[in-house]
Amino acid sequence: MKPIKIGIAGTGVVASGVVNILKRNADEITRRAGRDIEVIVVSSRTRAKAEALVGNDVQIVNDIMEVARHPDVDIVVETMGGYEPAKSFVLEAIAHGKHVVTANKALLAEHGNEIFKAAQDKGVTVAFEAAVAGGIPVIKALREGLSANRIEWIAGIINGTTNFILTQMREKGWTFADALKVAQELGYAEADPTFDVEGVDAAHKITLMSALAFGVPIDFKAASIEGISKLAAADIAYAEKFGYRIKLLGITKRVSNGTTDGIELRVHPTLIPESRLIANVNGVMNAVLVKGDAVGATLYYGAGAGSEPTGSSVIADLIDVTRTITADPEHRVPHLAFQPDSLASIPMLPLSAVKTRYYLRLTAQDRTGVLADITRILANHDISVDAMLQTEVDDATKEAHIVIMTHVSQESNVDTAVSEIKALASITGGVVKLRVEELG
């Protein structure tokens, strides 16, 4: 049987992982795929770099569109990242009847609906296992392994940079700025870390998983996003006192309780009970919890980035596409797990509709009646207190921290109460609000 021929756009970190694994594990990959997978063309702006990666037997071109239009290529691999020229390249490849494998979560979160529609119309596949959690095969789990289940929720540590920073803040008591500096020195964070530390990268990934879990179109604009740049080391320490650890989670949840029917889609720092396995995922590692109605909670753990972990997922997609390349399009696993004509129009819920527990930290002056004022405001908005901690009064400032853990409350009620608490004359320095997820 003739080999499947591959064209790769880019010669960066992901592309090098793909090429190296294809070389090293060629026999094993052929046994799994049923035929050889052969790289025949790569695009690169630096010919010497490309030659060092693929040698002299592979065609090297400067224009990525030559890869997309190459008459002998069966599958293109997009490893460039970003929106453009990646989008134009992918659509051009589809228009020329090529199957596509990509690790580009930003592209799919923003333009996935258009890309998948083009692929469906042309009868080709767009595979994206590497786009969500690097080497962790969670897309395959959602599309196939858990297909008997009604997915209830997903919660994931899906950004290694922020997980490394939070780990250092907890273990070493560092500030956010100190932990970020070390992450940059070690190569875990970019010179401009905004997409990571402000939660955008995680939001791209959870948006894709939400569509797969609930059979809805991709809707990145509906995501509520909060990063970790304003998180204080004090809050990590106080969370520990209550038996919790703080992680940046991507969360998507189907809510259907008779009065509300919709999907939560959010990224934010979250308190998790320290006894949960996911609370003990540290450093740059990733983990995704998926709760199905039949299987219960399942955990997927591993490297969320890196050359060979990501390359591993790219090649898994190449093998899958190779296996199904002779199958009729209607018999392939759908791009978003559900058949394209069966996607649902379930509304995305605003953050104000979320119901969960909350952590509140206040800085208050040492005055009589402060706690009474705070608890009265909370009670007025149907927020009950589960636990409370107050530090000793600072002799210099005459202020103390008050930390409150609530029972389950609605976000809109908590926001209103926080606004009223901030307005109290005895409260200085604002109010820190973090969400709590039990994940049980």
Residue set of the binding site: 105, 190
Count Cα atoms within 13 angstroms, Cβ side, for 322.
Answer: 23
Annotated binding site for L-homoserine: 190
Please, are residues 33 and 58 in contact by the beta-carbon 8 Å criterion?
no
Question: Distance between CA 162 and CA 198 in Å, rounded?
Answer: 9
Task: Give the integer Cα–Cα distance in Å for 337 and 138.
Answer: 12
According to DSSP, residue 325 is labeled T
Number of H helices, E strands in the chain: 16, 17
DSSP 142-174: IIIITTTS-EEEEEEE--HHHHHHHHHHHHH--
Neighbour-count burial for 304-315, b at 16+ CB within 10 Å, e otherwise: bbbbbbbbbbbb
Active site residues: 205
Name the binding residues for NADPH: 105
Q: Most distant CA pair in the chain: distance in Å?
A: 84
Q: Report CA Rg, the chain.
A: 24
* Distance between CA atoms of residues 105 and 404, nearest Å: 37
Q: Residues in the chain, how many?
A: 440
